[in-house]
Amino acid sequence: WSLGRLFSLTPSWSHPVIAADNLSGPSLAPPKGIYLHGGPGCGKTHLMNVFYDSLSSSSSSSSSSPHQQKVHFHKFMLDVHRQMHLAQTVHGIRGSDAVLHHVLTRILQKGRILCFDEFQVTDVADALLLRRLFTGLVDRGAVVVATSNRSPRELYKGGLQRELFVPFVDWLEETLVVVGMWDSEVDYRLVMSGGRGVAGGVSVSGNDSDYDDDDDSNPHGRVH
């Protein structure tokens, strides 16, 4: 299973420093990412956390540079839109391609292995941007690991201009290994909480705080 290949990521691939003016990607082909989908408590977030923590422990003595990041997907997209706005208003960057290049640079400098919890699409601005954004990330050597309560075909279902979003779904299914976990009979929220009642949710650890603050801080948040 491809998760085993992800667990075998070597420092020679996952640690390279990405300069702002050099986003050509690693010389070694990155492994395929994974899209885990299933119901609440099925263990998908726990599995991603185990993977993420294994990278953190294996890299602690080999590199001081960040090479992986974990963030709630909604929070990640808020920051993407904010960075696009700042690229134009603060840095004076013009043209959609140049703006996207700037945003990709900022993302990859925080880590080439991207772990997204609660991948979902409810906003038309996100829906129209995702294919260009994720194609750019993967083409530059990023590996995406995502969890979601929806299968790819259920994303943004019934959304405005969904026909323009469908090519991203096709790309997602072709580029990532899609794994359904709907048959799980264990509620891992209860396991992780020691069986004390129904868990209200699973927290995301790691460097999610990287998206709370930035050198180009902006009080306005999301910009459409």
CB 203 within 8 A of CB 117: no
In this predicted structure, what is the pLDDT of residue 32?
86
Mean pLDDT of 68-88: 96
Q: What is the pTM of this model?
A: 0.76
Helix residue ranges per DSSP H, 119-187: 124-139, 166-175
The number of CA neighbours under 13 Å toward the Cβ of 106 is: 23
Check residue 171 and give its pLDDT. 96
Buried b or exposed e, range 68-91, using 16+ CB within 10 angstroms = bbbbbbbbbbbbbbbbbbbbbeee
What count of other Cβ atoms lies within 10 Å of the Cβ of residue 224?
8
- The rounded mean pLDDT for the chain is 78
pLDDT: which is higher, 196 or 32: 32
Please report the pLDDT score of residue 187 as a whole number.
Answer: 75
* Amino acid symbol at 177: V
Tens digit of each residue's pLDDT (9 = 90 or more) over 79-127: 999 999 999 999 999 999 999 999 999 999 999 999 999 999 999 999 9
Cβ contacts of 194 within 8 Å, gap of 6 or more = none
Q: What is the pLDDT of residue 6?
A: 57
Question: Looking at residues 192-219, what average pLDDT do you find?
Answer: 47
- State how far the Cα of 13 lies from the Cα of 9, in Å rounded to an integer: 7
